[in-house]
Amino acid sequence: MARKYSDTWLEFEKSLGGVRPVLSGTPEEMRAQYRALGDALQQSWPAIPENVVVVDDKVSQIKLRIFMPPPSGQPVPLGVYYHGGGLVIGPSKGDDVVCGTLAHTTGSIIVSVCYRLSPEHKSPVHLHDAIEAFKWAFDNAARLGADATKLFTFGSSSGGMLALAAARQIRLSRTGLPTHAVKGVIALCPVTTHPEAVFRPPEHRSLEENATDIPLVDKAALITFSNAAGLHPTDLDYFTLLDRESHKLFPPTYIATCEFDPLRDDGVVLEEYLKLAGVPVKRDHYHNMPHVFFNVPTLPETFGIFMKNTIQGIEWVVSQPRDLTVSYKFLSNA
């Protein structure tokens, strides 16, 4: 399939010597490749806004980085952020800048979670860490100055998968938290199916359309990540698209998708399924762009349309009516 990338993306590839960046090889080699790309972009990221206070904390073995907006005199929303990287690659400077910028622009506290990585740790460790970090945020909301009724999960790529998966566990009453503890989900280019799933909805075409010659993450990379993490194609706890029975329990969800992304339809089909289940959903789509293009700070779209849309997505999620009847609806429909 002929793909027409945005001129800005093609200029970025040109700046790399005409090389299309894509992660390949072993998990260790992928980490090195991503680190090299991050080093090349390091100086292009702006500073975190000066009025955002950054505090490091920890719960169990999980490192947390908290981005505090300027005091507002009243409790504020709080987002628990899970970075991308296929559950294999750790957070980057870009994650810090995005979290700090969103704390500044939305007035929300953002708690960035350094969950344990694969292949050193296999599933379900990442999901357990994601939930434990959310519990910590819920328990410490008042101390941090957050409104405990406005907590949301938030992540990109595999982090979007964890944001959805953690919300699902909470809504299924599997965490010890109130089911309404999670107000919403921000899922940017999320993973919702396994790349080697035996069954895939017929409307899900992006994995094959964008399998090869694609920037950053192709089908082979997704398979490597999934194998490193020990993910099974039928794991409902990680791949939220599969468990349609639980979709009716989801909180309001904001999704971002990119056209030239093998994961495009992971988000597109999820939007369709959640809407059919009666869940409020909002989605922004980025034409002519590859997976997580917003990890490139030199693209005008990153701090232009992407950041603007994400800010609006967060504001939309936290403004939705709070549903206190989730567990009762689930029991009545069981």
Decide if 291 is catalytic.
Answer: yes
User: Does the pTM exceed 0.85?
Assistant: yes
Confidence (pLDDT) at 324: 61
Question: Token pair of 68, please?
Answer: 């505090």
**DSSP string across 21-46:** -B--SSHHHHHHHHHHHHHHHGGGSP
Neighbours of 14 (CB within 10 A): 10
Residue from 129, 261, 265, 284 carrying the catalytic annotation: 261
Q: Is 226 exposed, middle or buried (0-12, 13-18, 19+ CB in 10 A)?
A: buried
The CATH code belonging to domain 11-194+202-319 is 3.40.50.1820
- pLDDT tens series, the chain, 334 aa: 579 999 999 999 999 999 999 999 999 999 999 999 999 999 999 999 999 999 999 999 999 999 999 999 999 999 999 999 999 999 999 999 999 999 999 999 999 999 999 999 999 999 999 999 999 999 999 999 999 999 999 999 999 999 999 999 999 999 999 999 999 999 999 999 999 987 788 899 999 999 999 999 999 999 999 999 999 999 999 999 999 999 999 999 999 999 999 999 999 999 999 999 999 999 999 999 999 999 999 999 999 999 999 999 999 999 999 776 554 344 333 3
Residue from 92, 157, 158, 226 carrying the catalytic annotation: 157
Decide if 261 is catalytic.
Answer: yes
Decide if 247 is catalytic.
Answer: no
Confidence (pLDDT) at 322: 77
**Distance between CA 231 and CA 245 in Å, rounded?**
21
Confidence (pLDDT) at 129: 99
Nearest residue to 190 via CA among 241, 146, 232:
241
Omega before 71 cis (within 30°)?
no
| Element (DSSP H or E) covering residue 100 | helix 93-106
* Eight-class DSSP state of 3: -
